[in-house]
């Protein structure tokens, strides 16, 4: 496997914790990558201001009024910026066909629970942790997966286990999984850049 420089684009609706961690890793030299573009569907996303403060190009592309036009704009913006791999960091919209076609097997998302059991439509945020606790399983954790047309359906390329402890509430489990996610995303991108982990296709 060959090491490679990653040209990254980031999509976020809110704070973008994983994106911030990845950008910090790039700036510190821990990740061989470039942050080419940050896009949000939310004008008040704190990640847009963060990116601007770090001299990273930004765009706000609203998706609700005209999803098809937004899909086309997003695909064009990512390609124009030279993005080769897209990182979702709390992006609360499903991607459209133009983006998914242009970036087939090149969009990564992180899910806060074991897949495929705790994924699918409606399984996000606290809902995932509530389901994990209710199921009585001994282990939860984060999964990084390749995004396709269905929620949480694409191949999982990396898993990070987080034990479910005795007496855990969904809120307690969520806090531990959420704390682990940014570093795990950085580690996974490092493995891709170093040629240790290969994406499908």
- Catalytic residue from among 5, 111, 121, 153: 111
Tell me the CA end-to-end span of the chain in Å, nearest whole number: 14
CB 38 within 8 A of CB 83: no
Determine the Cα–Cα distance for residues 84 and 36; give it in Å rounded to an integer: 9
Known active-site residue 5 = no
Q: Which backbone phi and psi does 199 adopt, to 5 degrees?
A: -80, 155
Q: Which residues are catalytic?
A: 111
């Amino acid at each position: 496997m060959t090491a490679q420089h990653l040209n990254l684009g980031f999509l976020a609706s809110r704070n973008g914790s994983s994106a911030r961690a990845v950008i910090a890793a790039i700036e510190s030299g821990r990740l061989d990558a470039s942050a080419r573009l940050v896009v949000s569907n939310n004008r008040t996303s704190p990640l847009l201001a963060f990116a601007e403060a770090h001299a990273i190009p930004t765009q706000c592309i609203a998706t609700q009024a005209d999803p098809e036009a937004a899909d086309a704009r997003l695909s064009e913006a990512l390609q124009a910026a030279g993005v080769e791999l897209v990182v979702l960091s709390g992006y609360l919209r499903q991607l459209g066909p133009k983006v998914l076609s242009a970036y087939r097997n090149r969009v990564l998302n992180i899910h806060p629970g074991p897949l495929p059991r705790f994924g699918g439509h409606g399984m996000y945020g606290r809902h995932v942790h509530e389901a994990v606790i209710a199921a009585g399983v001994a282990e939860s954790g984060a999964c990084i997966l390749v995004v396709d047309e269905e929620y949480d359906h694409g191949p999982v390329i990396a898993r990070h286990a987080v034990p479910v402890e005795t007496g855990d509430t969904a809120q307690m489990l969520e806090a531990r999984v959420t704390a682990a996610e940014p570093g795990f995303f950085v580690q996974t991108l490092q493995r891709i850049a170093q040629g240790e982990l290969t994406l499908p296709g």
